[in-house]
Amino acid sequence: MVDVTQERRIGDPEPGATRPKRRRLLITTVIVLALAVPGIFYFTGAYDSWQDNQSLADTCKGSVDTSEVKELLGVDRVRGHDIEADHGSSPRAGQLHKCSVGDPDGKAWVSVSLDWSGDAAGPLHDLGGFTPYGDVGLATPLGRGWEGVLDEVPGTRNLVATVNMRCENRRSDPQHSSLIATVQGMGTRSMAGDVQRARFARTTVKTAQHAAEAWGCTARSGGAIQRVPGSAAHTEVPEGEARGTCAGIKTAVRESVTDPRAPIENCYVLAGRNSSQYRLSAFYGPFAQALPVQRGYSGEVDPERPAGNKGNLLWASAKCPSGSRALYVSTGLPGADHGFDPDGKLEKSALKAFAARSSKSHGCEDLKLP
Confidence at residue 359, expressed as pLDDT on a 0 to 100 scale: 98
- Reported as a pLDDT band with limits 50, 70 and 90, residue 44 is very low
Q: What percent of the chain has pLDDT over 90?
A: 48
Confidence at residue 128, expressed as pLDDT on a 0 to 100 scale: 72
- Reported as a pLDDT band with limits 50, 70 and 90, residue 143 is very high
Q: What percent of the chain has pLDDT over 70?
A: 78
Confidence at residue 56, expressed as pLDDT on a 0 to 100 scale: 73
Q: 267 near 245, Cβ under 8 Å? A: yes
> Model confidence over 334-363: pLDDT tens digits?
765 566 776 778 889 999 999 999 999 999
Whether the pTM exceeds 0.85: the reply is no
Confidence at residue 146, expressed as pLDDT on a 0 to 100 scale: 97
Name beta bridge partners: 332.
278
Average pLDDT, integer, range 196-221: 96
Confidence at residue 275, expressed as pLDDT on a 0 to 100 scale: 63
Confidence at residue 322, expressed as pLDDT on a 0 to 100 scale: 86
DSSP state string for 182-239? EEEEE-SS---SHHHHHHHHHHHHHHHHHHHHHTT---------S--PPP-TTPPBPT
Report the Cα 269 to chain-centroid distance in Å.
27
Confidence at residue 54, expressed as pLDDT on a 0 to 100 scale: 62
Confidence at residue 336, expressed as pLDDT on a 0 to 100 scale: 58
Task: Using the predicted structure, report yes or no on whether residue 218 has a pLDDT greater than 60.
Answer: yes
Q: 268 near 255, Cβ under 8 Å? A: yes
Confidence at residue 179, expressed as pLDDT on a 0 to 100 scale: 97
Angle at 203 (CA atoms; ends 245, 261), nearest 5 degrees = 30
Task: Using the predicted structure, report yes or no on whether residue 321 has a pLDDT greater than 90.
Answer: yes
* Domain coordinates in residue numbering, the chain: 57-228, 234-370
Task: Using the predicted structure, report yes or no on whether residue 236 has a pLDDT greater than 80.
Answer: yes
> Model confidence over 68-112: pLDDT tens digits?
888 899 888 889 888 854 444 445 666 889 999 998 888 899 999
Average pLDDT, integer, range 174-180: 94
Pick the more confident residue, 75 or 265.
265
Confidence at residue 295, expressed as pLDDT on a 0 to 100 scale: 77
- Reported as a pLDDT band with limits 50, 70 and 90, residue 19 is low
Whole-angstrom Cα distance, residue 217 to residue 171?
10
- Average pLDDT, whole number, for the chain? 83
Q: 314 near 370, Cβ under 8 Å? A: yes
Confidence at residue 52, expressed as pLDDT on a 0 to 100 scale: 54
Confidence at residue 316, expressed as pLDDT on a 0 to 100 scale: 97
